[in-house]
Amino acid sequence: MLSNLKIDVEAKAFFVFGDSLVDNGNNNYLATTARADAPPYGIDYPTHRPTGRFSNGLNIPDIISESMGWEPTLPYLSPELIGEKLLVGANFASAGVGVLNDTGIQFVNIIRIFQQLNFFEQYKKRLSKIIGEEETKRVVNESLVLITLGGNDFVNNYYLIPYSLRSQQYSLEDYVPFVISEYKKVLQRLHDLGPQRVLVTGSGPLGCVPAELAQHSTNGECAAELMKAAGLFNPQLVQMLDQLNQEIGSDVFIAANTNQMHLDFISNPQQFGFVTSKLACCGQGPYNGLGLCTPLSNLCPNRDLYVFWDPFHPSERANRLIVQQILSGSNTYMHPMNLSSIMALDSRA
C-alpha cells in the first residue's frame, strides 16, 4: 500500500502546528528551557545528532513526509527556509505550547499558537513574493496540515502544580469544554487562512507517560486524574471537529485517535514488538520518568524496544506505528477517513 502511495501522490505543501510532539527544531532558535538540542536526542537521526526534535530519531511529521515521498519540512525559524524550500511547506510547532496562551508559561519564550498562525500569514506573504498571490493561494488550499495541541493544557497547566490557577477557576468537567471552545477558534482561524485538509491529533493517554507514572503510580497503573482528562478531551474534540466540518460543509478536519493508538501499545506492548510501555528509554528515577533526558541520563541500548523515548515523548518506532494508522487506519483510529483516502480523493479532484 505505502510503496504505491509514493508514486500516486502529487507533492502537496505540508504545514505543521502544535507542541513538542511535532516541533522539529523551532525552539533551538529561542531562549527557552523547552529544547531538545543536546545528546542523546537525535541518537538515531540520520546525522546521529540532536536536531531539536523530541525524539531519538524522526517524529510524526517527518514520517508522514517520508511516507509521501516529500522532503521533510524545515522549522519556520530556520535560516535555511528560503526560496524554493518554501514550496515544501513549513513547521511552525513549538515545544511547550497549548491551546491556551497561559499554558507553558514556565518555558517563557515559546511560539504560542496564535503566533504560529501569525507566522503562517507571514509565510504566505513570503511565498507570494516568489510565486505570486494566486499560486500561493492554490498551494495553501491544496496543502496538508497537521496540528497537535491539548496535552500541555493539562500536563503543563491544569495539573502542573497542585492548586494551579486554572484548577481553582474550573472543575475538570468545565475546563475541558473551555479548552475545546478555544481550540475551535484556533481551527477556525487556521481554516480562514486557506487550508482545506487538516489532520488533528487527540491527546495521548496523558496519565500513562513515564513522567506521570514516576509521580503518581505505585505499581505501574496510569495516573487516574490525567486519564480522566484525556477521556473527556478526546471525544469532545471529535465532536467539535464534526461540528466545524458541518458548518464548513466539507471534511476539512480529520480526527486522528492517537489516544487509542497509544493505548494499544500500552495494553499490549509485546504485540507491537516492544518490551515495555512504562519505562522511558532515556531518563532517571522511577520508570526513567523524572526530570529531563540529558547526556547524564540512563540510556537504553535499543530504542526500538521502547514505546517511550523520554519521560513524555514516543520513540521513533512508536511514531512509525502511529503514522501507519494515520495513513491506513480504520474508522476507530481515523475519523471520517484516513490519510490514504484523503490523498486518493484529492488526486482525483
Enclosing H/E stretch for 307: strand 306-308
- Residue 145, CB half-sphere, CA atoms under 13 Å: how many? 27
310: annotated active-site residue: yes
Separation between Cα atoms, residue 186 and residue 197, nearest integer Å: 15
Enclosing H/E stretch for 41: none
Query: Which residue out of 19, 78, 203, 313 is catalytically annotated?
Result: 313
Query: Which residue out of 153, 262, 310, 340 is catalytically annotated?
Result: 310
Residue in the block written with cell 487538516: 198
Backbone angles phi, psi at 130, to 5 degrees: -90, -45
DSSP state string for 213-279? HHHH-SSSPPPHHHHHHHHHHHHHHHHHHHHHHHHHTS--EEEE-HHHHHHHHHH-GGGGT-SEEEE
Separation between Cα atoms, residue 345 and residue 349, nearest integer Å: 6
DSSP count for the chain of H helices, then E strands: 12, 10
Look up residue 286 and give its three cell numbers.
Answer: 522511577
335: annotated active-site residue: no
Query: Which residue out of 19, 20, 153, 203 is catalytically annotated?
Result: 20
Enclosing H/E stretch for 198: strand 198-201
Give the catalytic positions in this structure: 20, 310, 313
